[in-house]
Chain A
Amino acid sequence: MSEPWFGRPVPRNEDSRLLTGRALFVDDVDAPGMLHVAFVRSTLAHARILSIDLSAAAQRPGVVAVFSAEELGDFWQHGPLLVQPPPIEGLVFNQRTQPLLARDKVRHVGEPIAVIVAENRYIAEDAAEDVWVEYEPLDAVGDLERALEPGAPLVHEDLGSNISAHVVQKKGNYEDARARADLVITRRFHYDRGVSAALENRAYVAQWNARQRELTLWDTTQAPIPIRNGLARMLGLSEFQVRVVAPFVGGGFGPKIMMFYPEEVLVPWLAMKLEAAVKWTEDRRENFFATTQERGQVHDAEIALTRDGRILGVQDRFLHDGGAYDPYGLTVPINSQCTLLGPYVVPNYASEFTAVFTNRTLVTPVRGAGRQHGVFVIERLLDIAARELGIDPVEIRRRNFIPPDAFPWDNEVIFQDSAPLVYDSGDFAAVLDRALEIIGYDTFLREEQPRLRAEGRHVGIGVVAYVEGTGIGPYEGARVSVETDGSVSVATGVGTQGQGHFTTLAQVVADPLGVDVADVRIVTGDTREFRWGTGTFASRGAVAAGNACHAAAVAVRDKIVRLAADILGAPPDDIVVANGHAGVRGDAARRMPLGELAARANPLRGAVKPGTEPGLEATAYFGAERGATASGVHAMIVDVDPDTAMVKILRYVVVHDCGRVINPLILDGQIHGGVAHGIGNAFYEKLVYDENGQLLTGSFMDYLLPTSLDVPDIETAHHETPSPLNPLGVKGAGEAGVIPGGALFAQAVENALAERGIEIREIPLSPNLLFTLLVEAERRP
């Protein structure tokens, strides 16, 4: 038996296409007579629309059609609610989803008001400038606390308040715990907004074949199947008449999920209406205003502990900035609420949040999806408690870890997938120890830090832990087929945005089928190839689609064995499937290539046994009762210049447990990218809005993505605690790198500047903010 593909650092099957410029991205799609779209967008955050004058735009040569809400007629509608709120007692959720085009009122800068269709994009944009919109400006809702005060301007006037949702989750009795505590720490924490900044902006190309009555939409979505289903409903078509293709997608990171963005619905509608191919590609400026964002929250948190640092309870009340509409339900704040519990025994927990409508771009999950905030709050509280109690920050974490023999561990709260938050597995202390060993924690504190400090340098270390609920349901599926040339084709419903599905899923099926990974062709994100599934999000591709591929491959292997046993005249137990052949164990001469077996499995003449299914093909589905629990520890050493408030990262270590590793090369890549994103969120990236709801950092000149000079080399190690909830034992890894970034920056920078006595309670910690904290600390008596 050759070495298994599972677990090997195989280079990727998809790379040669991407490296030669021959991979298809949505904006690459071309069609004869294709029309191009531009949107007229609100220039104000909050205003009544008094009038819209399309006449000049309609008359511009090259313009084909112009629509505002009024011209959409019966098709004008609000987008669907994408995620139902979980079944939590007393939950309040006020559904206000985005309209296709604003009518009467605009609620954030960039909200689409009118759509122009023209012969090319240049003309469409010229015509968008011709549209005259008369507004009555209204006060904008931005600050989360002021939004809830009486008399505040209302984003949705019919609602009577700016409350999008209110949720309380409790475990035990926090008040009792607090009464027993030796130490109670109370703090307010802020976490602000950023963009996902996929390098590819959104794009949609739709083609309506009027003769065959078939619609094809090329869509930069992470979830083509839900988009197909929803569009069919909205456009009055059967699901079989709609094909949604998510080809290569240039980064997802959350906002490309099944959003039913206005542009995503209008482009196919226009294609049908105008009986033409229609394309819209977002530009970067639009991306800053019209693609969803994340991360604005304010937490008032409290932790109660014994004097030896054991957590008795945590209380957290937070406000969540939901933006102007709430189509994605409560996923982000629920993730914050649940992820706060981390890898720790928290016997009593009282958490309450209010999601607030604001006159800002919509908030939906962005890599991490609210988990950052929870990790930031609990890790900061533990850091402050450790300082107050005179306990080493690593030690206080260790004392509170859930022990490895305590799984499954019920947190007694409801998670984003509507299931109870029960951790399936983990070994938090082992992960911590490995991280400490790699970064040399003791040596750093004992020798390096004193030596460097004596040289006048401000070096510090941070170590934070987190848990990530991954691989949530409901399910994914896959169809695995052996073709007559001996190659294997796999179709699955998830889309791909760089995660390496063409390789990892190939590794999963190559082992049971005894073929080379290079001979496995994976198709993702084409609803014509696979009809069922939900999408790529929540670090679930490897868990859901991976296990579905595995199950289908095992079923095909069974077919191969049965057929080969018949043909070769040997008992099934003696059939070996390896090296592209099925053969009889111990008899090298009696074997048959898989391609030939595939041909024999699809006879053109003669009778077959009743009940025989043709082909070496099987379809299987996988859904776990709940998600798989990934966990990790990040450790970082920084060198801070207190004069410039710049932070240089000297070392960054990630030890991560995502269960069994399919491909360490790809896994490390996922971690590297996540860490870079986390560094950006923690220190560089910030969406700054003024009091009128205008974004001041709406370009890559103003909004700073980390560059190759800002992201250090990241040292990774993996601890494997297989998930007991799926046959492959895998857990998700896509978001692990990004989650603890803020908490880690805060701890390491504080440690570096220990003598200055600053306390970091806000992320992003820009050089500006750090400088302000240093000046304030100096002024304090």
Chain B
Amino acid sequence: MARSTVRPAFLGKTALVGTGSTEFTKASGRSVLSLATEACRLAAEDAGLPLADIDGVLSFSFNNDSVPSQAVATSLALPQPRFLLDISMGGQAPAYLVMQAAAAVNAGLADNVLVFRALNGRSGQRVGSTRVPGMAADFRYPLGFTAYPQFIAMWARRFLVETGGGAEDLAAVPIAQRAWAAMNERAIRRTPLTFEEYLATPMVADPFRAPDCTTEVDGACAVLVTSTERAADLRRRPVIIQGAAYAAGRGSGLDAGDALLWDDLSRNYTSLLANSLWGGAGMAPGDIDLAQIYDCFSSSVLFALEGLGLVGRGEAGSFIREGNTLPGARLPVNTSGGLLNEGYLHGMNTVVEAVLQLQGQAGERTVESAETCVVTSGALTDGSALVLAKGKAA
């Protein structure tokens, strides 16, 4: 049976037009609803759209760590929401929810849709030490195999085995991204990192050391999706959704950490969705100017650069070490410093950074010449990605 090659109908017809973020802190001292409301309000203000014009809200949560879209619609006094959706998902969700928002807008289910993620991820329920719900978890936990750094280290080890890589390949990711984080006031980790310093940091789950792992934070991020037609009247330069894909492979698992049926732990979902992503966008990997890669752990950047075809098999580590992803280089990657350095808003901040870059709103780290950006969400057996393109200035 041939796979569908149908291009999503919303591509080229929908756009991201605003972003909003709260502070990222270790203890917000606020309710999740308060954080969510602030980020959503800021996204609407950024776009120059009255709150009363918003008729859709989407969000995701993990183990009930957030608030429902309906609650946010209520606190924003939205007069008549037509599309509210909450999904239970981890880091696979941000690009996926932007796709749902774009599809809803294009289908006439709503006109202007907010997508948010909000959580007290540090002071409240911490994903690093929370049990993943689902039946496969019972086959990991009694062995002391209990947390994401461990689950993903299992993938990273096999990746290093298959590609002949080593600690220098993993280390390249946080080292390069610190150069970007230095320009991002919101980043939690901003000091430069050398390979020698990296080797002196504590092991968490070998092959991962502390700098290979993201940092949990409290906070919220939101983006606003609308049609390209309406976007033309708004405040910011629109960021056009040019490509979009989600993929879950066969045997993608029984819970959000399960990989027992995943034959090849050296390749993740990015290898599965690359063709439909680039095909739908009408672009090739070489056409991309920026990449915002979901990086809960360093290895997921290596997986995605390869999986998306931005580099060849086994080349991601050396590509980064050679400086190709740094400020001023040919393919800037994770220009906020990434989740590794900015903090873990479960990848919603990864989407926000892509939009800020193409709007020209990323301060001194803005890559002025960039016309296109690829964004990924997820690290394991399923995930999503977007190809975004700079629209005409407002």
Report if A and B associate in a common complex. no
Give A residues with C-beta under 8 Å from B: none
